[in-house]
Structure 1
Amino acid sequence: MSPPIHPDVRIGHVHLKVSDLERSLAFYCEVLGFQLTQRYGTQAAFVSAGGYHHHIGLNTWESRGGKAPPRGNTGLFHVAILYPDRASLAEALRRLIQNKIPLDGASDHGVSEALYLHDPDGNGLELYVDRAPSLWPRSSSGELSMTTEPLDLDALLAEAPPQS
């Protein structure tokens, strides 16, 4: 058996095919709050949190004016965006509500709390916060025991920082 991958490996950035770059930039920057770091004319743009070169690439190279793939096809299920704390996830929820962006679901997985939605091109998104590993549910034998329970959105919203 091959040795496992190095434990410090992380998944870095994602590039999404979009049909309308301006619409996608409005969603990722104005609704979710990412910052534009670079543009390649009218065909591509890169956005990030905290000044990183990019967390998300948006491009229309093969998809300008295109449609989302139909259900039942292979492809990306969702991109998971990790928030640093529960208050930040609560602020994200407030932004979604203010912009009338519907949720597809909201779950407490024991190890994390997550909001599920789609971007304007139908790309799945998970906005989530991890719990401390010491709080993760475990079986009697010590194995991870993730769950899927409803997330209390009102309790989450109550943790959002005051609006300025």
Structure 2
Amino acid sequence: MNAGFAHVGVSTHDMEATIAFYCQVLGCRRVGDERIEIGKGGVIRQVSIDVGDGQYFVFMEAKGVDGIRGDYDTSINRSLGVPPGMYHYALRVASMSELTATAEAIARHGIDVSEVTDLGNAKAVFLQDPNGLQLELSVKIRDFDESDIGRITKAEVADSA
């Protein structure tokens, strides 16, 4: 079994800000928007965002659902007390020029975007979505090869948020 992934499910407390970010800022498309009524009370709104190649982010926003606190931390990393990049999602872009143009467009929306980082086989920028989730936009520079096995690099770890 190796057909890729179908979706990643994550949560939000602000669905409208999440939709605006992924659709208006990143240019993705909302393809599903469902209201799930929970038997014991409350609702979960589930929105599917197409990120390309038949893959989706599925965002869930719970309101009044027993057993789901209204104040949990949606950022994953912060709630676990680890640096921002430990849990992150990478979205592929087609070229270096697209990476640069996309990063500049995102920055024009007032969103902090990192400088381009060389990852060896890819170049990437990093940013956070409205839920505090770390995103990577990445362009493949080369295929992985034997030089990537056992490779040693140096880096700094961001402070935990």
Q: TM-score, normalised by structure 1?
A: 0.68
- Taking a change above 3 Å as real, the CA distance of residues 26 and 71 of structure 1, as seen in their structure-2 partners, is same
User: In the alignment, which residue of structure 2 is the partner of 1:153?
Assistant: none
User: What root-mean-square deviation, in Å, do the aligned CA atoms of Structure 1 and Structure 2 show?
Assistant: 3.1
SS at match of 2:130: coil
* C-alpha distance in structure 1 between counterparts of 2:114 and 2:70, whole Å: 25
- Taking a change above 3 Å as real, the CA distance of residues 15 and 63 of structure 1, as seen in their structure-2 partners, is farther
User: In the alignment, which residue of structure 2 is the partner of 1:156?
Assistant: none
Counterpart code for 1:96: I
Q: Which runs of 5+ in 2 are unaligned?
A: 36-43, 63-67, 156-161
User: In the alignment, which residue of structure 2 is the partner of 1:48?
Assistant: 50
Q: Deviations over 1:124-143 (max 9, x none)?
A: 1111011122xx6x7xxx43
Identity %: 21
* C-alpha distance in structure 1 between counterparts of 2:109 and 2:92, whole Å: 21
Counterpart code for 1:11: F
- Alignment pair present for 1:22 and 2:26: no
CA deviation after TM superposition for structure 1 residue 84, in Å: 2.2
* C-alpha distance in structure 2 between counterparts of 1:120 and 1:10, whole Å: 26
Q: Which runs of 5+ in 1 are unaligned?
A: 1-5, 150-164
User: In the alignment, which residue of structure 2 is the partner of 1:31?
Assistant: 25
User: In the alignment, which residue of structure 1 is the partner of 2:135?
Assistant: 125
Q: TM-score, normalised by structure 2?
A: 0.69
The within-5 A match list for 1:101-112 is 101-104=111-114, 106-112=116-122
Normalized per residue, the structure richer in strand is 2
- Taking a change above 3 Å as real, the CA distance of residues 119 and 12 of structure 1, as seen in their structure-2 partners, is same
In structure 1, which of residues 58, 70, 79 is the aligned counterpart of residue 79 of structure 2? 70
Counterpart code for 2:58: G
Q: Figure out how many residues of one structure are paired with residues of the other and give that number.
A: 136
SS at match of 1:43: strand
Q: Deviations over 1:21-78 (max 9, x none)?
A: 11111111111110110101371211114584x511111134755434435269x710
CA deviation after TM superposition for structure 1 residue 104, in Å: 4.7
* C-alpha distance in structure 2 between counterparts of 1:124 and 1:104, whole Å: 11
Bigger drift between 115-124 and 42-51 goes to 42-51
